[in-house]
Amino acid sequence: MITFYKTFISGQEEKNISEVISKNDFSDRSFFSDKCSEWLVKETHSKRALLTGSCTQALEMSAVLADIKPGDEVIMPSFTFVSTANAFVLAGAKIIFVDIRPDTLNINESLIERAITKKTKAIVVMHYAGLACEMDVICSIAKKHHLLVIEDAALGLGAAYKKQALGSIGNFGCYSFHYTKSVHCLQGGAIMINRASDIDRAETVREKGTNRIQFLKGEVNKYTWIDKGSNYILSELSAAFLYAQLEQSEKVIKKRKTIWSEYYSQLKQLQKAGRIELPVIPDYCTHNASVFYIKVKNQIVRNKLIDHLKKKKIQTAFHYVPLHSSFAGLKFGKFHGEDKYTTKESSRLLRLPLFFDLSNDQVSYICESISAFYK
């Protein structure tokens, strides 16, 4: 069986965790937590990186930092993970979904401005498959209307928009280190703070709304509750695991891009024949091979292809079911304008296995099996 994914382990994780245990220092401001934060800041050029228990927590933090209140509206794509919307619903916002582009499957930047009202507080983008949204246009719209920009870069570590790291462009960026991601700590995330003026409050929100960080720095003689917040802190054991992964991230992404390119090369004849569509990489994108997908004619064909590949012992997966079609999506949000591509594209997308240990022979077998389906 060729599984859909296989979790990457570098070999250094156990040594790092053993080091934490031997030191008996489990503080969230210990060695590996600090090393991960420093690594993320260095690689992305963000002002501050704060590790969180998940990307969901990072998004929830961004909602607090954006001062989202009941009655506010937040614009985002419907083709995204539930956490992208739920983080802002928890703060009381109404979600305004807009359509996606058919090429990148990202939010259609040309539709954002017409969805803005007096209640709009923020634009939340999701960089699908590590492909950047058109951030110059989106940030320009946000500046014009005095809105915040929040990046759901759950799939974006190691990817860039015009050489600027995803997650470092908007006001806040959110990464996922879930075990299904290229670089992970089984469960974890990070929020990237891109304005120096937001750092102190971000640290307060992450520390359950207290000024504990200022206390540890000696800036106050005791710490107390001063703002909204929760326990959004990643454990030092998880940070130790994550740092081993971060150190290998360049190697991991390079290998994944090799596999991605092999898929593309072997499947391009099917695209030329009009059987499938392959991913599009705009010139402004530096992708990270987070996902390799194909798009087939429709959902019926996709279901038949999934069954065919399953018989060949190949696991595949589709991706997000549009949020605006869900019970909660209908309750907490609305779709602005025409759903021209969101439902259509999501219903014909099929993700193929992609992980560090996937061999060339396995890639060839998968591609041959897809070709056989069309023959």
- Tokens of residue 208, six digits: 């359950």
Convert the pLDDT of each residue in 124-148 to its tens digit: 999 999 999 999 999 999 999 999 9
Band (pLDDT 50/70/90 cuts) for residue 60 is: very high
Number of Cβ within 10 Å of residue 375's Cβ equals: 6
- Which amino acid is it at 368? E
* Whole-angstrom distance, CA of residue 375 vs CA of residue 371: 6
Classify the phi-psi angles of 218: left when phi > 0, otherwise alpha if psi is within -120 to 50, otherwise beta: left
d(CA 368, CA 67): 52
**Structure-block tokens of residue 174:** 């959110």
Helices 13-23 and 236-247 pack at an angle, to 10 degrees, of 150
Q: Predicted confidence band at 26 (pLDDT cuts at 50, 70, 90)?
A: confident
- Do residues 106 and 127 make contact, with C-beta atoms less than 8 angstroms apart? yes
CB 256 within 8 A of CB 182: yes
Q: What dotted CATH number matches 249-374?
A: 3.90.1150.10
Task: State the architecture of 13-247 in CATH terms.
Answer: 3-Layer(aba) Sandwich (3.40)
Is 70 exceeded by the pLDDT of residue 28? no
CA-nearest of 90, 54, 93 to 75 is: 93
Paired tokens of 240? 């130790």
CA nearest neighbour of 187 among 154, 160, 159: 154
Q: For all residues of the chain together, what is the average pLDDT? A: 97
Per-domain residue ranges for the chain?
13-247, 249-374
pLDDT score, position 155 = 97
Q: Is the pLDDT of residue 11 over 70?
A: yes
Give the model confidence (pLDDT) of 160-213 as tens digits: 999 999 999 999 999 999 999 999 999 999 999 999 999 999 999 999 999 998
Give the tens place of pLDDT for each residue, 40-49: 999 999 999 9
Measured torsion, CA atoms of residues 277, 112, 335, 290, in degrees rounded to the nearest 10: 40
Under the banding of pLDDT at 50, 70 and 90, the label for residue 25 is confident
Asked whether the beta carbons of 97 and 76 are under 8 A apart, the reply is yes
Alpha helices, H only, 70-153: 82-89, 135-145
> DSSP characters for 316-361?
-B--PPPGGGSHHHHHHEEE-S--SSHHHHHTTEEEPP--TT--HH
pLDDT tens-digit series, residues 182-196: 999 999 999 999 999
